[in-house]
Amino acid sequence: MLLELTGITKKYGDFFANKKIDFSLEENEIHAIVGENGAGKTTLMRMLYGMETPTEGSISVRGIKHKINNPNEAIKLGIGMVHQHFMLFPSFTIAENIVFHHEPKKGILYNRKKAEEEVAILAKKYGMNIDPSQLISDAPVGVQQRVEILKVLYQGADIIILDEPTAVLTPLEVKDLLISLRNLSKQGKSIILITHKLNEVMQVTDRVTVLRDGQVTGSLKTKETDTGHLSKLMVGRELAKKEKTEVKVGASILSIEHLNIIENSSKKKLLEDINFQVKAGEIVGIAGVSGNGQSELIAAITGLLQVNEGSIHLADIDITNLSVRQIREAGLAHIPEDRYLWGSAKTASVEDNLMMTEYRKKAFQKNGILHTNVIRKFAKETINKFSIKTTSQEESAQNLSGGNLQKLIAAREIQQNTPFLLAAEPTRGVDIGAMEFIHEQLLMKRNNGDGVLLISSELSEILSIADRVLVMFEGKIVGEFTQADVSDEKISLLMAGGKHEQG
């Protein structure tokens, strides 16, 4: 056996992050670790990579027990880790990033030519198409992902840990990455894949281990299971099927006409001639790789960015360039794309975060004096209704897991009962159980006759619940599909800058 973790336990005070976990990795194997947020996946891998120390248990590499005290010791044992958030220098070339700290020298000087030659040979060996001289800042996200993998290969890793490697990739880039992982395993590498995307697990892995509440609930061969069984092992129950009832589409709730936003310094158009509507009783999804104008569109709709040309109407109200408060009062609720930066006050309590959009309402105050008992009752009912896991409503929001903080924000915004909801990356980084819950809430809002604009980099999310799909590329809407004519292939092509032939 190449790698064995035996009885691994990690305890923080009275809390068990991992409890008696057994895990193994064979030569040339791709082994997935799946589980909900807080299941213990990251903690387990941090111990393997020397970033945490086990409370109990042992780690054996090639039959020999080791105490791995830091990442440098892990690398010496042939263990490399590609983190979810890339650790690359934008101003460096691809070759410079890959050889960093292991630079070939000519005398005492960096040998650029040799570095680029070595990187080119390495990339060719593993079938990864890159240009060693290209700046990272100019490289697409999919290429940056390859650079991270080549970096650990250059360091001599035989065991590669990949943490949510497809989180920021287009479907076409995901396909390329999965092919690369298979090629790596055929050439003698063994891979641990941390992911919540079960379809990818089924496509590329040999075995899968499921964690729930810090313990193993199943370890089985991929060919002997399916996504339904894995989901049940992850959440402890059968997932409900999405009920998408027919809803008669009504009048326009959001209407955007000839919207242009121009960057002040460069005069570049961040958004160019954007036109679309969201009607009552529909979810309109906007697909696209992050960075193609979605954030600017969100900011324009919500009043955070000045519109240069065009108009935005919410029902019959022109909300173009109104203040954030005026736009909210006109009937907008908003789940922001970054739950920490825009969606919450981290140091405030759960209760205070739930009240941020409520405290001016007559039910909760009179003449500026807050009704404390009413607020506490409301917060308690919301926590229970939306299954937000917290020790108390006075707990600081920053102590919640990512999934529970996302549910808190979704609860706060959905309960506004506004005619329009802008849901930006509503399930980013959440586990399968929280994702199911948030999708149910969005569908319920749509079924009640409200309009929902869903902006997501997760194509599967958009395809599963949207009635219409728009595709954004470089600040423009480059395609529109209904549920009847949409497909992964058509959208992926447009997301990558290709053209779709209508027919």
% of the chain exceeding 90 in pLDDT: 58
Would residue 245 count as lying in a domain? no
The alpha carbon of residue 308 and the mean position of all alpha carbons in its chain are separated, in whole angstroms, by 31
Mean pLDDT, residues 206-230:
93
Give 135's DSSP letter.
B
Residue 171 pLDDT > 80, yes or no? no
pLDDT tens digit string along 54-64? 999 999 999 99
Residues 26 and 63 in one domain: yes
pLDDT tens digit string along 261-289? 998 878 888 999 999 999 999 999 999 87
pLDDT tens digit string along 316-354? 999 999 999 999 999 999 999 888 888 899 899 999 999
More confident residue, 170 or 31: 31
Residues 213 and 338 in one domain: no
Domain that residue 269 falls in: 252-347+412-495
Residues 166 and 72 in one domain: yes
Residues 332 and 468 in one domain: yes
Residues 254 and 453: their CA atoms lie apart, in Å, by: 9
Residue 173 pLDDT > 80, yes or no? no
Q: Residue 320 forms beta bridges with which residues?
A: none
Q: CB within 8 A of 196, min separation 6: which ones? A: 34, 36, 164, 431, 432
What confidence tier does 248 reach under pLDDT thresholds 50, 70, 90? confident
Residue 503: the pLDDT is 44
- Report the candidate in 57, 33, 35 with the shortest Cα–Cα distance to residue 47: 57
- Report the candidate in 182, 214, 210 with the shortest Cα–Cα distance to residue 198: 210
What confidence tier does 175 reach under pLDDT thresholds 50, 70, 90? confident
What confidence tier does 224 reach under pLDDT thresholds 50, 70, 90? very high
Residues 322 and 199 in one domain: no
Q: Residue 477 forms beta bridges with which residues?
A: 472
Mean pLDDT, residues 70-74:
94
Residue 170: the pLDDT is 67
Residue 240 pLDDT > 90, yes or no? no
pLDDT tens digit string along 435-484? 888 898 999 999 999 999 999 977 888 988 999 999 999 999 999 998 88
Would residue 376 count as lying in a domain? no
Residue 139: the pLDDT is 87
Residues 463 and 457: their CA atoms lie apart, in Å, by: 11
Residue 239: the pLDDT is 62
Residue 501 pLDDT > 60, yes or no? no
Residue 421 pLDDT > 60, yes or no? yes
What letters, b where the CB count within 10 A reaches 16 and e where it falls short, cover 131-147? Answer: bbeeebeebeebbbbbb
- Report the candidate in 459, 100, 206, 162 with the shortest Cα–Cα distance to residue 146: 162
Residues 268 and 219: their CA atoms lie apart, in Å, by: 52
More confident residue, 239 or 447: 447
Provide φ and ψ at 497, rounded to 5°.
95, 5
Residues 222 and 218: their CA atoms lie apart, in Å, by: 11
Which bin fits 63, alpha (ψ -120 to 50), beta or left (φ > 0)?
left
- Report the candidate in 74, 5, 286, 30 with the shortest Cα–Cα distance to residue 165: 30
What the block records as the tokens of 292 is 């193609």
Residues 117 and 222 in one domain: yes
Residues 381 and 354: their CA atoms lie apart, in Å, by: 11
pLDDT tens digit string along 352-370? 999 988 888 888 888 888 8
What the block records as the tokens of 406 is 């996302």
CATH number for the domain harbouring residue 315:
3.40.50.300
The angle at the Cα of 231, spanning 11 to 15, to the nearest 5 degrees, equals 10
pTM: 0.69
Would residue 223 count as lying in a domain? yes
Residue 128: the pLDDT is 87
Residues 423 and 452: their CA atoms lie apart, in Å, by: 7
Q: Which of 235, 264, 293 corresponds to the end of one domain?
A: 235
The three-state secondary structure class of 370 is strand
Would residue 28 count as lying in a domain? yes
